[in-house]
Amino acid sequence: MVKGLRPTSRECWRLGLLVLSVGSCGVGPTDLGRCSGELPLTVDQREGLRFTWEPADCPMYTLVVDEARVIRWSIWSSDDSRNQIGSGVEYGQVPPNAVEQSRGADPLLARNRYRVAVTRIDEEGSQVTAGTAYFIKD
């Protein structure tokens, strides 16, 4: 803006929309505190294999399932700069706003130990681990 000129109401409205869109992308100021740090990550094997975290309304950037550092399945947010993966991901099912980064989900073998990890884009634009859990496939 040029010094001495005031923004028009249209410019103020656009700025307001920009602030709202940044706040809704998962890295906005309102969720950084409660979505930062290590979040509880749960693996539910009652019906298939489901991954959830708390708070449930904190979207993630990636979810990776590996076995001894061999990736068995991974998904990423479809937008390279936003946290878009919601809690409640079913193994092998690509949720909305995500893309599969591996060749598809490998079958998981019973009695083998696996790790699931989720990451977020933080307020500085860095990818950080947000939660990790280990499980033995039923």
SS (H, E, C) 70-128: EEEEEEEECCCCCCCECCCEECCCCCCCEEECCCCCCCCCCCCEEEEEEEEECCCCCEE
Question: Is position 19 within any domain?
Answer: yes
Q: Is residue 2 part of a domain?
A: no
We report the CATH number of the domain holding residue 27 as 2.60.40
Domain range holding 74? 9-136
Predicted TM-score (pTM) of this structure: 0.76
Number of structural domains the chain divides into: 1
User: Would 57 be classed as within a structural domain?
Assistant: yes
Averaged pLDDT in 10-residue chunks for the chain of 138 residues: 44 35 40 80 96 96 97 94 95 96 91 98 93 97
Does a structural domain hold residue 92?
Answer: yes
In a domain, 84, yes or no: yes
